[in-house]
């Protein structure tokens, strides 16, 4: 296995908005550039698919792996279950996280990927209709059987993640050790969210960081770290929740560091995440080779103590 560059490639739109040839090229570039982790989900990307269902991303990754002998030994695959729509159910209903739903969705993911196991499997969103103990036991059982390398929780609050971890351990089962949430250098005003887009519990907060620092066995992954390119694109502003005086200070700090290094602001954001305490693994989604090259460079970039102080003091 290649040494792990602390970044993940987000494959959400591979096979739908991003065509197969482009997706294959980006996957190749990511691995050749030192990337290891590829992040997908069973529901990606149902909102872009002609069928209205997910699975296109996983299926494309499966075809890519099948056409590249030996590639499976060079990469790690992370996927998720819980958010695939149920079209014959209530509007907006998803499969959820019952033991039955996880088992069915997990088998479907493995078939699309053409694999017998995955390296990391996330419960995609906290399901309050299912006891947390049931979720922990179901995921732990698959991990104990060797079909899941690691257990993850995406868009879960810390208190529920800790309850799931504690229960799995009490049953002698592999426990969750990875949280996937939204995070970036800019931070939104508290309690202000885009409710049509954001998960209520889908953010890394001070409490999350405190938990990670106190429990070093956990790893955190951050989705949307570059905020759809808004750090470097003058035509794309951050969401309304980020419009406050703190953002102005942070934008000035990141511009100072980026200009001093002669790199993009996005590269500095990635370096800040990767090199921080605790370190955060950013998930970068892109449709262009140049953007991916910049992201890989950002993950390799090491900030000096002085540069990091400029960024941290703006908080």
∠ Cα 77 82 87 (to 5°): 120
Q: At 27, is the secondary structure helix, strand, or coil?
A: helix
- Position 130 pLDDT exceeds 70: yes
Q: Give percent helix, percent strand, percent coil of the chain, each to the nearest 5.
A: 40, 15, 45
15: left (phi over 0), alpha (psi -120 to 50) or beta: left
CA dihedral 26, 30, 85, 150 (to 10 degrees): 160
Q: What is the pLDDT of residue 91?
A: 61
Q: What is the pLDDT of residue 87?
A: 76
What rounded mean pLDDT belongs to the chain?
93
Question: pTM (2 decimals)?
Answer: 0.94
- CA distance linking residue 254 with residue 251, whole number of Å: 5
Q: What does the pLDDT look like over 195-251, one tens digit per residue? A: 545 677 788 999 999 999 999 999 999 999 999 899 998 888 888 888 888 899 999
Q: What is the pLDDT of residue 81?
A: 97
Q: What is the pLDDT of residue 300?
A: 96
CA distances from 176 to 8, 64, 244 (A): 18, 28, 35
DSSP letter, residue 238: P
Q: 282 vs 228, which has greater pLDDT?
A: 282
Q: 27 vs 91, which has greater pLDDT?
A: 27
- CA distance linking residue 226 with residue 10, whole number of Å: 12
- CA distance linking residue 240 with residue 250, whole number of Å: 16
- Position 127 pLDDT exceeds 70: yes
Task: Kindly write down the DSSP assignment for every residue of 245-280, as one continuous string.
Answer: HHHHHHHHHHHHHHHHHTS-HHHHHHHHHHTSSS-E
Question: Fold for domain 8-313?
Answer: TIM Barrel (3.20.20)
The set of residues, in sequence order, having a beta carbon less than 8 Å from that of 297 and lying 6+ positions away, is 263, 267
The mean pLDDT value for 297-305 works out to 96
- Position 88 pLDDT exceeds 90: no
- CA distance linking residue 84 with residue 99, whole number of Å: 15
Cβ neighbour number for residue 33 with a 10 Å cutoff: 17
DSSP letter, residue 223: E
The mean pLDDT value for 277-305 works out to 96
The confidence band for 194, taking pLDDT boundaries of 50, 70 and 90, is: low
Q: What does the pLDDT look like over 108-124, one tens digit per residue? A: 999 999 999 999 999 99
Q: What is the pLDDT of residue 3?
A: 57
Q: What does the pLDDT look like over 142-186, one tens digit per residue? A: 999 999 999 999 999 999 999 999 999 999 999 999 999 999 999
- Position 1 pLDDT exceeds 50: no
How large a percentage of the chain has pLDDT more than 90?
Answer: 85
């Amino acid at each position: 296995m290649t040494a792990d560059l602390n970044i993940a490639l987000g494959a959400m739109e591979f096979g739908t908005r991003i065509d197969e040839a482009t997706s294959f090229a980006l996957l190749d570039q990511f691995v050749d550039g030192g990337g290891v982790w590829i992040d997908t989900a069973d529901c990606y990307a149902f909102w872009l698919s002609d069928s209205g269902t997910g699975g296109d991303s996983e299926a494309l990754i499966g075809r890519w792996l099948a056409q590249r002998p030996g590639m499976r030994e060079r990469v790690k695959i992370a996927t998720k279950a819980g958010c695939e729509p149920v079209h014959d159910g209530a509007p907006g209903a998803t499969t959820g996280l019952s033991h039955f739903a996880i088992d069915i969705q997990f088998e479907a993911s493995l078939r699309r990927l053409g694999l017998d196991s995955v390296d990391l499997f996330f419960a995609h969103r906290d399901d309050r209709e299912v006891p947390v103990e049931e979720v922990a036991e179901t995921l732990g059982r698959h991990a104990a059987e060797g079909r899941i390398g690691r257990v993850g929780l995406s868009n879960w609050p810390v208190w529920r993640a800790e309850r799931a971890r504690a229960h799995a351990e009490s049953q002698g089962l592999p426990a969750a050790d990875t949280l996937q949430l939204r995070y970036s250098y800019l931070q939104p005003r508290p309690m202000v969210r885009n409710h049509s887009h954001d998960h209520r519990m889908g953010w890394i907060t001070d409490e999350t960081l405190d938990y990670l620092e106190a429990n070093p066995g956990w790893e955190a992954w951050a989705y949307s770290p570059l905020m759809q390119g808004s750090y470097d694109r003058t035509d794309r502003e951050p969401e309304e929740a980020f419009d406050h005086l703190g953002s102005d200070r942070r934008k000035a700090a990141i511009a100072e560091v980026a200009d001093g290094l002669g790199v993009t602001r996005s590269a500095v954001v990635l370096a800040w995440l990767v090199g921080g305490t605790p370190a955060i693994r950013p998930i970068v989604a892109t449709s262009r080779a140049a953007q991916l090259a910049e992201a890989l460079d950002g993950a390799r970039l090491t900030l000096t103590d002085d540069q990091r102080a400029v960024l941290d003091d703006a908080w």
